[in-house]
Amino acid sequence: MKTNTLLLTASLGLAATPGAWAQGVLSDNLANASGGRSMVLDTSWAAAKFTTDGQAYNFRSVVLLMSGIQNVGSSAQVDIYSDSGANKPGAAVGTLISPGSYTPGLTPTTFTSPGVPLAASSSYWVVLKAPTGGLGWSYTTDPSGTGAGFALDWSQSLDAGSTWSTTSFPPYQMQVNADAVPEPSQWAIMVLGLAGYAARRRQAKAKVG
């Protein structure tokens, strides 16, 4: 009886434990002052790096401080890229859902995902493209940021991703949000706890009957 209760308590407590399957901010420097903006066009792409800690995640959304070009029908595409191993974007691992419209002034703009898996202790890149028109992505001269995955590295390509030039500071401005994925041991605790709870309920019903 006590064992079942402890297992259930552990499993329910796990759901509220940060890093179990909670939503989290991996990288954020949106609040920093803008130092200007880089232009993104059909073949001129921009990218910003973020990392994961020892936890695996499902990518949820990214908020970019960006703008459209006034009087031009601009469209935006944001992809998540793996790292090439040379601190540059490698291959696309997922495409995010675009909000569809963009204002001329700098505005936090959210791109969402049904869940791009992110491996633990890995580097990834948020890559902004403009299939039509043009976009501006804000950068900041403030090197500070929050989140376990915050990085200063950014990259640009002038040939639609064939080659990349990468440097550190000043970084582009974004907020990366993701859901932590429970480890197998955490799932096991939860399953055991629920199984113990179900057994206890059956015992209680048997005594009443």
Instruction: Say yes or no: 87 and 47 in one domain.
Output: yes
Q: Give, for all 209 residues of the chain, the pLDDT tens digit.
A: 434 443 333 344 444 343 334 569 999 999 999 999 999 999 999 999 999 999 999 999 999 999 988 656 789 999 999 999 999 999 999 999 999 888 889 999 999 998 899 999 999 999 999 999 999 999 999 999 999 999 999 999 999 999 999 999 999 999 999 999 986 544 334 444 555 555 566 665 656 65
Instruction: Say yes or no: 75 and 112 in one domain.
Output: yes
What is the C-alpha R_g of the chain? 22
- Structural domain including 172 reads 22-181
The domain that holds 26 is classified in CATH as 2.60.120
Instruction: Say yes or no: 16 and 49 in one domain.
Output: no
Which 8-state DSSP code applies to residue 184?
Answer: H
Q: Scanning the structure block, which residue is given the tokens 């936890």?
A: 55
* Residue 98 vs residues 20, 30, 46, 145, 198: alpha-carbon distances, Å: 28, 19, 16, 25, 44
pTM of the model: 0.79
Q: What angle do CA 34, 88, 61 make, to 5 degrees?
A: 55
Domain count, the chain: 2
